[in-house]
Chains A and B, each alone.
Chain A
Amino acid sequence: EVQLVQSGAEVKKPGTTVKLSCSFSGYTFTDHYIHWLQQAPGKVPEWMGLVHPEDGETIYAEKFQGRVAMTADTSTDTAYMELRSLRSEDTALYYCATEKSGGFHHWGQGTLVTVSS
């Protein structure tokens, strides 16, 4: 069974950095792209970017360019997403998901990040 387990909730101050993790099991980690999405309260999910574990290739959404970094550690089958210069609008649930044939077949449970002074 494919499982994506994300790290726990975070509370951060504006201007700081958060780094979230997503641990994979039940499939070959390097086989699929891993995507990260942001879902603000009551809003539609927003795509942030992707990382390919096999070669570290990344593509970031224009909105998050310069503030985000996505990595993948093949020794621990874990993906990471770092978001810098946090602001109140970054308060949201963050999801990791695996992609196959253009669809996100498996999702993590989400990590709540609260940005507040």
Chain B
Amino acid sequence: DIVLTQSPLSLPVTPGEPASISCRSTQSLLFSNGYNYLNWYLQKPGQSPQLLIYLGSIRASGVPDRFSGSGSGTDFTLKISRVEAEDVGLYYCMQSVQTWAITFGQGTRLEIK
């Protein structure tokens, strides 16, 4: 199975400051159609995960534009341009290039300083 490694695992951020999370894969997530099958989710306390970014860089419906995704192949990054209090929670990357063996990163906990 593809292993995704996130860093950092804990991310204290001052409101209004930027934040960045890395996700590295043991195999390329670039499919033959030219898209990277890498997603980012936020799970707020007590809630279901919510999709932020899919296909590496496309914001999901309703996601604020302060969230952006980039990268290709095996290295990906989620950036928050200006962190807000409501962004607190666990961030996961997930690969779906192997539809038969979808895997998640171990999660990054974002907290407000």
Contact = CB atoms under 8 A, between A and B. Distances in A.
Interface of A: 35, 44-47, 50, 59, 61-62, 95, 99-105, 107-110
B39 A103 contact: yes
Given A102-B37, A102-B96, A107 B101 contact: no
Say what secondary structure dominates the interface of chain A: strand
27 contacts: A44-B105, A44-B107, A45-B104, A46-B104, A47-B101, A47-B102, A47-B103, A59-B100, A61-B101, A62-B101, A100-B54, A101-B54, A102-B37, A102-B54, A102-B55, A102-B97, A103-B39, A103-B54, A103-B60, A103-B96, A104-B41, A104-B49, A104-B51, A105-B54, A107-B48, A108-B48, A110-B48
A66 B82 CA distance: 46
Say what secondary structure dominates the interface of chain B: loop
B10 interface: no
Chain B, interface size category, equals 20 to 34
A50 B37 CA distance: 17
Contacts of B32: none
B55 to A, nearest CB: 6
Q: Which 10 A-B pairs have the closest CB atoms?
A: A103-B54, A47-B102, A107-B48, A102-B96, A102-B37, A103-B39, A44-B104, A103-B51, A59-B100, A105-B51
